[in-house]
Amino acid sequence: MELEFSGDTPRFKELREKMVKYQIQQRGIRDPNVLQAMLFVPRHLFVPEEHLNEAYDDHPLPIGKGQTISQPYIVALMTEALELKKEDKVLEIGTGSGYQAAILALIAKEVYTVERIKELYESAKERLDRLGFKNIFFKLFDGTLGWEDHSPFDAILVTAGAPSVPTPLVNQLKDGGRLVIPVGERHNQELIKITKKDGLQRTQNLGGCRFVDLVGVHGWKV
Ligand code: SAH
């Protein structure tokens, strides 16, 4: 896969190195694949022009349509929790800017990403295609229903806050698979990791977080 990051500059590269060192490594993220991917992907190419100077700051940013690109540390924490291997097939719910999908696509074999807002789906697809990603597949759909045709998945990541864990997502996880999802109230969730093993589910709580709503049949109602 030949990637085309012509919009990168030494200044942005330096900001990215600082982001990875101070916001991510120093807070305990160790997976070398995660650190490498976040050093590599020019995050500023995924944020709106008016927020360009904040692209590497320690907080989420608006991407239009009332949605956000997650804080860099949260992207790193969720990606590490997925325990990705290079042959893995991953499902992401909530494409948004496409930044998280790009990080996943550098580590895993294939990324299937679902978005419910047409404008975001179109701009993320255009952006990731233009940057040269060949292993990301897009769908405009209610991701609380998963992506049945390509299931089962080794890992599933939900990047919007859910009232409860959508059953279709658990069903579309392979045995040995990992699901990471923010679950809780509308403005305050816990990041939950579910591991499926021999028909059993193990649940871990990775801590508090704050995401925009997961809207759908198995999510919040519009
Ligand atoms: N991962 C994104 C962050 C996305 S913000 C990034 O890296 O930029 C959450 C996204 O989830 C929003 O774009 C929102 O429209 C989308 N979303 C919410 N409910 C959804 C659903 N049921 N199916 C698919 N996408 C959904």
**pLDDT tens, 79-109?**
999 999 999 999 999 999 999 999 999 999 9
151 is a domain residue = yes
* Ligand 1 atom at shortest distance from the alpha carbon of 120: 13
Q: Output the pLDDT for position 1.
A: 87
Evaluate whether residue 21 is within a structural domain: no
In a domain, 37, yes or no: no
Q: What token pair was written down for 207?
A: 């801590």
**Residue 215 banded pLDDT, cuts 50, 70, 90:** very high
Q: Which atom of ligand 1 is nearest to the CA of 216?
A: 22
In the chain, how many domains are there?
Answer: 1
Report yes or no on 66 lying in a domain: yes
pLDDT tens for each residue of 2-52: 898 988 999 999 999 999 999 999 999 999 999 999 999 999 999 999 999
**pLDDT at residue 201 in the model:** 96
CATH code for position 159: 3.40.50.150
CA-CA distance, 47 to 40, in Å (whole number)?
Answer: 16
The secondary structure of residue 28, as a DSSP letter, is: T
- Whether residue 70 lies in the annotated active site: yes
Distance 110 CA to ligand 1 centre (A): 19
- Residue 6 in any domain: the answer is no
Residue 44 domain-assigned (yes or no): no
For atom 24 of ligand 1, which residue has the closest CA? 115
Strands, E, within 88-185: which ranges? Answer: 89-93, 110-115, 136-140, 153-158, 173-185
Q: Flag whether pLDDT at 142 surpasses 90.
A: yes
CB 159 near ligand 1, within 6 Å: yes
Question: Which structure tokens are listed for 83?
Answer: 């325990």
pLDDT of residue 207: 97
Identify the domain containing residue 92 by its residue range. 60-209
At 121 the pLDDT is 98
48 lies in some domain: no
Among candidate residues 103, 90, 96, 86, the one with its CA nearest the CA of residue 41: 103
**Distance (Å) from CA 20 to ligand 1 centroid:** 24
19 domain residue, yes or no: no
Q: Give the amino acid at 119.
A: E
Q: What is the mean pLDDT of the chain?
A: 97
Which two tokens mark 109? 């074999």
- Residue 219 Cβ inside 6 Å of ligand 1? The answer reads yes
* pLDDT-based confidence at residue 222 (cuts at 50, 70, 90): confident
Query: With DSSP H G I counted as helix, E B as strand and the rest as coil, what are the percentages for the chain, rounded to 5?
Result: 35, 30, 35
pLDDT in tens, 59-82: 999 999 999 999 999 999 999 999
Alpha-carbon distance 217 to 215, whole Å? Answer: 7
pTM of the model: 0.98
Task: Report which residue type is found at 144.
Answer: T
Percentage with pLDDT > 70 across the chain: 100
What pLDDT shows up at residue 199? 86
